[in-house]
Amino acid sequence: MYQVGKITIYIGIALTIIGMLVGFTAMFMDSDNLAKFFIGLVPIGFVLLLTGTVATQLSAPNNDNKDESK
């Protein structure tokens, strides 16, 4: 689950960045339909980013070397 969370974080970051860059560029070039589509990807990217963050925090990888001092 930890690995899936990391992949979800990367996908969320990519969707957010691509959505903002392409969406605002299309908006300034007066291509409204394309801008709406790509700016609509930004909330999906945030949801995936939040989901991935929660998944990685709740399922930390097993570290057998935590208690070496005893």
Are the C-beta atoms of 8 and 52 separated by less than 8 Å?
Answer: yes
What is the predicted pLDDT for the residue at 61?
A: 77
Q: What is the pLDDT of residues 24-33, one digit of tens each?
A: 999 999 998 9
Number of domains in the chain: 1
d(CA 12, CA 29): 25
Full residue range of the structural domain in which residue 18 is found: 2-58
DSSP labels for 1-69?
-HHHHHHHHHHHHHHHHHHHHHHHHHHHTT-HHHHHHHHHHHHHHHHHHHHHHHHHHHSPPP-TTTTTT
> In the chain, which residues have pLDDT < 70?
64-70
65 belongs to a structural domain: no
63 belongs to a structural domain: no
Are the C-beta atoms of 52 and 2 separated by less than 8 Å?
Answer: no
What is the predicted pLDDT for the residue at 44?
A: 96
Output the pTM of the full model: 0.80
Mean pLDDT taken over the chain:
90
What is the predicted pLDDT for the residue at 64?
A: 62
